[in-house]
Amino acid sequence: MSDPFIPGIISSTDLKTYRDSGVGMRVGFGAKTALLVVDMCRYIVDERSPLSCRFNGRQAVESISKLLAKARPVGIPTVYTTQRGSEPYTSATGGRLVNKAIPKLSAFAQMEEPHEILEELKPESKEIVIVKPKPSAFFGTQLTSILLFHRIDTIIVTGAVTSGCIRATVDSAAALNFRVIVPIECVADRFQTSHEVALFDMDCFLADVVPVQEVFDHLDNIDHDIYS
């Protein structure tokens, strides 16, 4: 298991507090794992989009694609999420997110094409796609029920954005007592600072933030029979 995730932007004072606190212990994988791909839609890598992840969106696409190629032959349950414009942001389902983040982007928010899952990560027929109304993939969706059906105790969380929907999803998953693994190369954000701070904070208290190679190694040694 890799060392805790500590980005270079953490100050020496905060680093001392971190080390004195004893947080950031490793949780590891449990008995049965699922893969979650959060909001990897067209707008994430489209530089014309006001919400694109220019910083590391393409890296996340490539890394998630490799992770899917590893996970699918094993039979690991995979769930995707999206936020289709016609549903979350045009009614009360969008809630205060509309007021906080979308008021100047209403036209974009109502467009369907930007919210389509990227072709490079296109779900297979047996994989589930959830339309979520809020940042957390758990809020107002059947995700918990799906994971319980498959007897999942560990979730690999990938997608965008690190400090938004990923952080909210990880928080919900940890609150529900799932083990959570966040592969560093498989999450993207619009801002590098937000990305690194969110990863650091999640690694402190909620998840194991690890290099994607560590997830690859786990999948290479997993018992395929428990997913058959």
Residue 134 and residue 6: Cα distance in Å, rounded? Answer: 29
Positions marked catalytic: 165
Phi and psi for 6 in degrees, rounded to 5?
-130, 100
Pairing of strands 78-82, 179-183: unpaired
Q: Domains in the chain, start-ordered, CATH in brackets?
A: 27-84+117-227 (3.40.50.850)
Element (H, E) at 36: strand 33-38
The pTM (predicted TM-score) of the whole model is 0.92
Q: What is the mean pLDDT of each run of 10 residues along the chain (228 residues)?
A: 88 92 94 97 88 92 98 96 64 59 58 86 95 92 97 98 97 98 97 96 97 96 89
